[in-house]
Structure 1
Amino acid sequence: MILVTGASGTVGREVVGRLPAGVGVRVMARDPARIGGVGAGVEVVAGDYGDPGSLARVLRGVRTVFLVTARVGGGDDAVFVAAARAAGVRRVVKLSAAAVLDEGAGDLITRWQRESEGLLRDCGMEWTLLRPRAFMSNCLSWAGSVRCEGVVRALYGEAAHACVDPADVARVAVRVLTEEGHAGRAYTLTGPQALSAVEQTRELGAVLGVALRFEELSPARARAALEGRYPPAVAEALLDSALRLKAGAKAGVQDTVGRLTGRPARTFRQWAAAHAASFGGHGDAAGPPQAGPRASGTGAGTAGTAP
């Protein structure tokens, strides 16, 4: 039995949908009603990191776990790992982040991820770490300003970032969850190219068939936008992450996705084409970009600031 946590999230949802037929799959969710569209035979069970009793029920009979935690510094990894060990789980595949390898990264989020990785290494179970760069799907935060104004706004628009398609992260996760030979391994996952937000804007415009504009966010405006969405310490960590992006710490490309799955990682243009409807489009543009809408606004997309 494979247990998938974080199944309502960007990667977990893809993992559930890609696990092969015939594999026993259980999904843990605080609110099972939020988990829809799972395949036949997928068991959805109520569980909460804050309720060890529920974890014991969720983990009964489970041999392999895909572990996703999101409460920064909240201790969820420690509680879950202890419960998994007590339940006799054999293997844990943890979704971490590439930032743990950045020597200059000492922000709250990265420290928490390093601590979580350390827990797994010392847990006595088999473990595998998946360390993606930021998800291409973070660019969905631009959708509103693209649809209404034809504008993308971000910090440090010329800084290159080797973002990865979450679907590729899920493809790697499925291989690791269903194959032997990955115990004690850590895999850094990137896209096939490092693009700046300016270049992503150009690629997205080509897919949509409109001439999008890029507007550089000032650090002060980015801070205000982040503090409106996150606790102050998390917002500060994301701003620190953006500074590392500006310094070039996130531009390295690796071929891990292709090596593990046998298929190259998807490009940003391929990701954009698959999600064109979110930006008001219908897929790859057949002709040259047309003039996009022009309007003033205060939207502040912050894609690209994650690890």
Structure 2
Amino acid sequence: MILVTGATGTVGGQVVRRFPAGVRLRLMARDPAKVTGAPAAAEIVAGDYGDPLSLARALTGVHAAFLVTTRAGGGDDAAFAAAARRAGVRRLVKLSAAAVLDPGADDFITRWQRAGEEQLRGCGLEWTLLRPRAFMSNALGWAASVRGERTVRALYPASPNACVDPRDVAEVAVRALTEEGHAGRAYTLTGPQTLTAAGQCEQLGRLLGVPLRLVELSPAQARAAWAARYPEPVADALLHSAERQRAGAKAQVEDTVRAVTGRPPRTFAQWAEDHLEAFAPAGQQPAAPAAPAGDRLARPVRPGSPGTA
């Protein structure tokens, strides 16, 4: 039995869809009613990291688990690892962030991710760490303004990020959960090349068949947008993350997705082509892509995208 936590999230939801047929799955969510796309045979259970009894129930009979925690600063990684050890779980695969490798990253979120990694390393179980860069799906934060105004608003739109498709992260997670040879490994996961917000904006407009306007936000505007949605320490962390990206800290491309899965990582254009309906005005079909199939690019951080990878 494999347990997937975060089954309603960006990566967890994709992990659920990518297991080979016949794998016994149990999905844990605070609200099981929100789980979608699960195989018919999957068990869906309610669970909360702050509720030891719910963790014990979710982990009974489980030999491997995918761990996603989102309560920055909390002790959820340690609580889950301890419950997993008590339940006899053999293998844990944790979703972390690439920022943990950057010595210049000392923000609230990155410190929390580093602490979570240390807790897993010392838990006595087999562990694998997944460290993605920013998700290409963060571009969905622009969907409303693209639909309504044909506008993308971004902080530091010329700064590069080797963002990754969440589906690629999910495929690596499934390999680590179902195959041998991944114990004690930490995988930094990126797309095949870097792209700026300006490049993403151009690429989206080309695929949609309409010109998009790019508006550069000031640091104060970006922080205000984040502070309206998240606690102050998270807003500060996101601004620090954007500054690191501006300095080039997120431009390094890794070939880990290919090494683990045997195929190259998806480009931003491939991700965008699969999500164009989110950006097209209601009732309007996206135009046929103007770029040739081989001319595909990749993405950065904008207001509304939590995470410091």
The equivalent of 1:202 in structure 2 is: 202
CA distance in 2, matches of 1:210, 1:261: 35
The alpha-carbon deviation at position 179 of structure 1 amounts to: 0.2
The equivalent of 2:288 in structure 1 is: 285
AA aligned to 1:71 is: R
The equivalent of 2:155 in structure 1 is: 155
Aligned to 2:186, what secondary structure does the other structure show? strand
AA aligned to 2:242 is: A
The equivalent of 2:111 in structure 1 is: 111
CA distance in 2, matches of 1:233, 1:44: 33
Q: Is the 8 A contact 2:63 2:91 kept in 1?
A: yes
The equivalent of 1:306 in structure 2 is: 308
Quickly say closer, same or farther: Cα 1:264–1:287, change in 2 above 3 A: closer
User: In the TM superposition, what are the counterparts of 1:226-241 in structure 2 within 5 Å?
Assistant: 226-241=226-241
1:25 aligns with 2:28: no
Aligned to 2:37, what secondary structure does the other structure show? coil
The alpha-carbon deviation at position 213 of structure 1 amounts to: 1.2
1:165 aligns with 2:165: yes
The alpha-carbon deviation at position 37 of structure 1 amounts to: 2.8
The alpha-carbon deviation at position 79 of structure 1 amounts to: 0.8
Comparing 277-286 with 38-47, greater Cα deviation is found at 277-286
Quickly say closer, same or farther: Cα 1:261–1:282, change in 2 above 3 A: farther
The equivalent of 1:5 in structure 2 is: 5
The equivalent of 1:73 in structure 2 is: 73
The alpha-carbon deviation at position 82 of structure 1 amounts to: 0.7
CA distance in 2, matches of 1:159, 1:284: 28
Kindly provide the CA deviation profile for residues 43-87 of structure 1, in whole angstroms up to 9, marking residues without a partner as x. 001111110011111100000000000000111111111100111
Q: Is the 8 A contact 1:154 1:302 kept in 2?
A: no
The equivalent of 1:139 in structure 2 is: 139
Q: Which structure 1 residue ranges, 5 or more long, are not aligned?
A: 289-299
The equivalent of 1:127 in structure 2 is: 127
CA distance in 2, matches of 1:36, 1:61: 23
AA aligned to 2:174 is: V
CA distance in 2, matches of 1:240, 1:140: 22
CA distance in 2, matches of 1:135, 1:238: 14
Q: Is the 8 A contact 1:56 1:87 kept in 2?
A: yes
AA aligned to 1:245 is: Q
The equivalent of 2:295 in structure 1 is: none
Q: Is the 8 A contact 2:109 2:307 kept in 1?
A: no
Task: State the number of aligned residues.
Answer: 296
CA distance in 2, matches of 1:216, 1:75: 37
Aligned to 1:270, what secondary structure does the other structure show? helix
1:218 aligns with 2:221: no
Aligned to 2:153, what secondary structure does the other structure show? strand
CA distance in 1, matches of 2:285, 2:307: 27
CA RMSD of aligned residues (A): 1.4
Kindly provide the CA deviation profile for residues 268-303 of structure 1, in whole angstroms up to 9, marking residues without a partner as x. 111111000000164563559xxxxxxxxxxx8455
CA distance in 1, matches of 2:306, 2:8: 21
Aligned to 2:66, what secondary structure does the other structure show? strand
Q: Percent same amino acid at aligned positions?
A: 66
Q: Is the 8 A contact 2:208 2:289 kept in 1?
A: no
Quickly say closer, same or farther: Cα 1:304–1:30, change in 2 above 3 A: closer
User: In the TM superposition, what are the counterparts of 1:240-259 in structure 2 within 5 Å?
Assistant: 240-259=240-259
Provide runs of 4+ in structure 1 moved above 2 Å. Answer: 281-288, 300-306
CA distance in 1, matches of 2:215, 2:192: 25
The alpha-carbon deviation at position 20 of structure 1 amounts to: 1.0
CA distance in 1, matches of 2:305, 2:46: 32
The alpha-carbon deviation at position 36 of structure 1 amounts to: 2.5
Q: Which structure 2 residue ranges, 5 or more long, are not aligned?
A: 292-301
Kindly provide the CA deviation profile for residues 138-164 of structure 1, in whole angstroms up to 9, marking residues without a partner as x. 110001111111110111010010000
Using the size of structure 2 for normalisation, the TM-score is 0.93
Aligned to 1:61, what secondary structure does the other structure show? coil
Using the size of structure 1 for normalisation, the TM-score is 0.94
Aligned to 1:265, what secondary structure does the other structure show? coil
Kindly provide the CA deviation profile for residues 115-173 of structure 1, in whole angstroms up to 9, marking residues without a partner as x. 00000111100000000000000110001111111110111010010000000100111
CA distance in 2, matches of 1:141, 1:244: 20
